[in-house]
Amino acid sequence: MSAAAAATLRLWGALRRETAAWCVVELPHWLFVLKTILAALLAMGISMRFDLDQPRTAMVTVFVVMQPQTGMVLSKSLYRIGGTLAGTLVSLLLVGLCAQERELFILGLAVWVGGCTAGAAFYRNFKSYSFVLAGYTAAMIGIPAALQPQAFFPIALSRLTEVTLGIVCAGMVSDLVFPRRLADLVTRNVGSRYRDFFAFVRASLVGTAGQAELEAMQLRLVGYVISLESIRSAGILEDSDLRTRDLRLRRLNSEFMAACTTFHSFRALLQRLTKDATPAGRALIELYESLGETLVLTGEVPRSAGEARRAARGIAAFRGLLQRRVEQVRRSFPEAVHPKTALDFDTALELLYRFVRELHAYTRTYATLLEREQGPKPPDDIRFVSRTDPLVALLSGARACAAILLVGAFWIASAWPYGSSALTFVAVVCALFTMTPDPPRAARRMTLGFSAGFLAALLFKFFVLPSLDGFGLLCAGLVPVLMAGLYLATRPAWTDAGTGFVIFFTTMLAPGNTMQLNPEAFLNEGGATILGILVAVVMFETLIPASGIWLQRRLARQLRHQVVLACFDPLDGLAGRFESGTYELLHKLDSAGQGGVRDGRQLLSWMFPVVEVGRAIIQLRQDADSTPMAMPVSDRVRQSVQSTAELFRKPSGAARDAAVDCVADSLALLRQAAESRPCAPVTREALRRVQTSLHLIRTALLDEETILVATANDPSAQFPGGIPDAA
């Protein structure tokens, strides 16, 4: 073969590799862009064909509800219809009662939008979105109707028709044109999470990753939990097969969280024991390395269900060998082993047994995820709970209410003809960006997109549109502009700007059968709209901003409160509620840190004592309730739980000393009770588990490197330059 032919083959091979890489990364984005444009133009064409008032409303609806996966569109559209109907009914009530009293109308609208904004901040996923829609739909329908009450029903009917048309077009195009099923996304999420979790465990066991890298990997695993729960709940509407696997998916999430929590507790305890070179720590190294050998037999992370089955069989075999290796390690201990050394070893061993058991269950569930259910359906007792600070939600609603009242007062005082546009968009922005981790940044970026969309609409409407004759040329002219904005919206860093661009470009262009080319009205309406958005941005920046020491303390306090719930909530299903609530809070803290909350990593450091102590307390309560103990011992165990709750409720040096003393007294009483009277093997085993849970709590409370201890010693230490946590 000649050199020229070889070079041609190499060039062709490189071109094919680059094309394949582009298809993997960029093709899904471009398919989404083209499908969204097709749905928007279809909605515009149908609106014009049936001579609807505002085809732009149908187009904007497509931009808002369109998602890459079909199930997301269906779910979002369902909640959008519900929120739109609720907002329409409230606007009818406000117009009917207050149309002639502008002050009362604006007050009622502000209260409603504020309440919906609080609901959007309190709930999650599409429930949150339905509150957003209910809030700003009332503004979009109510404000124009209040200016002409006699036309309320035509206005409301037109908006409902246009919104529904946009929803139908988005759903049809998403489902029929290169559909991307949500079930496929669930499968990819589950597979990626399993591989990342296995890689995380392997990296921890063999020591190939530093602490910062391990923390980043753990936070990525937290994100997998939340994303799977979100897409699982949306996919139920799309795929019957996904509905049949719903319980298994929830069980997979629950088993994953349990395995993560136990593995963290085991690693943390082992690090404490090996750091101080304790005899138990040295003895446990051999077992730790044995687990590493089991999980790294092939040197590769399992990447398929078949490989997961083989991994599950390997873990099951290790469970059988573990007991024999434990006995070998025990024989290496000196005859007169110190009670603390024995308790250190037993506590770490209990965590190791539990982790291997949970890892085996998680691997087995993952390996059988795609199989159909056989036999009787297992009990459905797995629930994913959401944790949201009610005070923060209420203050978010108050912020939206204040912004609407401010713009409404200016509108009334100035008698500004375009004040209604400013009032409408301040309501839209306040409601829409409450759900984001950093509302000021999101609002600023969308303002940038709105400004660019305004300029693009100005140029297109007055310099390009007059040259376009007919629907076909109009679509051809719109495609490049919409394509640029929508592609920008697929970039994570510019999603808000791209979305704002296409929404505002379409809003200001206002395509229809009869175009109104009025530059003065165009500039006034655009300026009023941008003014309303800027007011919302200022309110987000100044009134209860997304960053600040107060909000940081609220987030940390809410995470600490998870331990209080573990101490006092009913035991039935408590482990699942604790772990799902804690993981969601961790995801919020991580999102807030990425979104600009100062010292977000310091907030996330609360994860370690919370998950370790909270899970240990739940296990302690379960074993204590099922084990007969003398009254003084059981009372002291309950006092240990209560004192630990007080420490996490309000960290201080005195609370920490009291909790440590209570736990130490409980351990001493349990040891005396075990030595003073013989008991059945089952009872002895349960008492041993109670002791190991108490000992794990004690070692966690004594760990000087945790933020819990730093905060107990100096309450201002939880945030550099902060002030003591007052509540």
> What sign does the CA torsion over 142, 148, 153, 159 have?
negative
Contact criterion met (CB below 8 Å) for 169 and 58: yes
Q: What is the pLDDT of residues 612-623, one digit of tens each?
A: 899 999 988 988
pLDDT of residue 724: 39
Residue 233 pLDDT level (bands cut at 50, 70, 90): confident
The per-residue pLDDT for 254 is: 87
* CA pair distance 300, 367, nearest whole angstrom: 16
Give the span between the Cα atoms of 324 and 305, in whole angstroms. Answer: 30
Single pTM value for the model: 0.77
What contacts 591, CB < 8 A, 6 or more positions away? 437
The average pLDDT across 106-114 equals: 91
Mean pLDDT across 196-220: 72
335-344 mean pLDDT: 70
For 23, residues 6+ apart whose C-beta sits below 8 A from its C-beta are none
Distance of alpha carbon 645 from the chain centroid:
26
Residue range 75-89, pLDDT digits in tens: 667 777 888 889 889
By the 8 A CB rule, do 440 and 536 touch?
A: no
Instruction: Determine the average pLDDT of the residues in 293-299.
Output: 55
DSSP state string for 590-605? HHHHHTT-TTHHHHHT
In DSSP notation, 354-405 reads HHHHHHHHHHHHHHTTTSPP-SSPPP----------HHHHHHHHHHHHHHHH
pLDDT band, residue 590 (cuts 50/70/90):
low
For the chain, percent helix, then strand, then coil, each to nearest 5?
A: 80, 0, 20
pLDDT computed for residue 298 by the predictor: 45
Scan for tokens 């603390």, then name that residue.
Answer: 340
In sequence order, what are the residues at sequence separation of 6 or more whose Cβ sits closer than 8 angstroms to the Cβ of residue 278? 341, 344
pLDDT of residue 673: 72
Spatial CB neighbours of 557, under 8 Å, sequence gap ≥ 6:
725, 727
**pLDDT value for 282:** 67
Contact 533, 407 (CB under 8 A): no
Instruction: Write the Ramachandran bin of 548: left for phi over 0, alpha for psi from -120 to 50, otherwise beta.
Output: left
Q: Which tokens is 463 given?
A: 């310099």
* Range from 101-115, 303-317, 554-568, 712-726 carrying the lowest mean pLDDT: 712-726
Predicted confidence (pLDDT) at residue 574 exceeds the cutoff of 80: yes
The two tokens of residue 85 are: 């109907």
378: left (phi over 0), alpha (psi -120 to 50) or beta: beta
The answer to whether the beta carbons of residues 563 and 366 sit under 8 Å apart is no
pLDDT in the model for residue 21 = 66
Residue 481 has a pLDDT of 95
The string of pLDDT tens digits covering residues 391-441 is 888 888 888 898 899 999 988 888 888 888 888 888 877 877 776 666 767
Mean pLDDT over 277-304 rounds to: 64
Instruction: Tell whether the model's pLDDT for residue 520 goes beyond 90.
Output: no
Give residue 45's pLDDT band: very low, low, confident or very high (50, 70, 90). Answer: very high
Rounded to whole angstroms, the Cα distance separating 632 from 624 reads: 13
DSSP string, 175-205: HHSS---HHHHHHHHHHHHHHHHHHHHHHHH
What percent of the chain has a predicted confidence (pLDDT) above 70? 79
Q: Which of 83, 69, 76 is nearest to 126 (CA)?
A: 76
CA distance 138 to 145: 10
- Distance CA(458)–CA(479), nearest Å, equals 16
What pLDDT was estimated at residue 597? 43
pLDDT of 1 higher than 60:
no
Q: Average pLDDT of 68-77?
A: 67
Residue appearing with tokens 């839209």? 428
Instruction: Report the distance separating Cα 411 and Cα 667, nearest Å.
Output: 69
Q: Tell whether the model's pLDDT for residue 624 goes beyond 90.
A: no
Q: Is 332 helix (H, G, I), strand (E, B) or coil?
A: coil
444 compared with 723, residue with greater pLDDT: 444
Please determine, for residue 302, whether its predicted confidence score (pLDDT) is greater than 70: no
Q: Is the pLDDT of residue 443 over 90?
A: no
Query: What pLDDT digit, counting tens, does each position of 52-63 carry?
Result: 888 998 998 888
361-365 mean pLDDT: 87
Average pLDDT over residues 136-149: 83
pLDDT of amino acid 76:
67
pLDDT exceeds 80 at position 379:
no
Name the more confident of 668 and 185.
668
481 C-beta neighbours (distance < 10 Å), count: 21
| C-alpha 572 chain-centroid distance | 25
Select the more confidently predicted residue: 126 or 247. Answer: 247
Q: What pLDDT is recorded for position 726?
A: 39
Total Cβ atoms within 10 A of residue 45: 17
Q: Which residue blocks in 490-606 are alpha helix, DSSP H?
A: 495-509, 519-542, 549-568, 574-594, 600-604
Contact by Cβ (8 Å): 292, 202: yes
As a whole number of Å, the end-to-end CA separation of the chain is 79
Which one is predicted more confidently, 523 or 324?
523
Higher pLDDT, 379 or 172: 172
Looking at every residue in the chain, the average pLDDT score rounds to 79
Q: What is the pLDDT of residue 46?
A: 95
Mean pLDDT along residues 589-593:
62
Q: Poorest-confidence range of 141-155, 287-301, 497-511, 702-716? A: 287-301
Q: Which is higher by pLDDT, 257 or 181?
A: 257
Q: What is the pLDDT of residue 725?
A: 44
**Arithmetic mean of pLDDT, 575-600:** 69
Structure tokens at 221: 């695993």
pLDDT of residue 501 exceeding 90: yes
Say what the pLDDT of residue 719 is.
46
Maximum mean pLDDT: which of 64-68, 327-331, 451-455, 575-579: 451-455
Distance of CA 539 to the CA centre of its chain: 25
Q: How much is the average pLDDT of 484-500?
A: 87
Distance between CA 322 and CA 258 in Å, rounded? Answer: 20
Provide the pLDDT for residue 294: 65
Of 549, 563, 548, give the one whose Cα is nearest residue 706. 563
pLDDT band, very low/low/confident/very high, at 48 (cuts 50, 70, 90): very high
CA–CA distance from 155 to each of 138, 148, 151, 168, 661 (Å)? 12, 10, 6, 20, 69
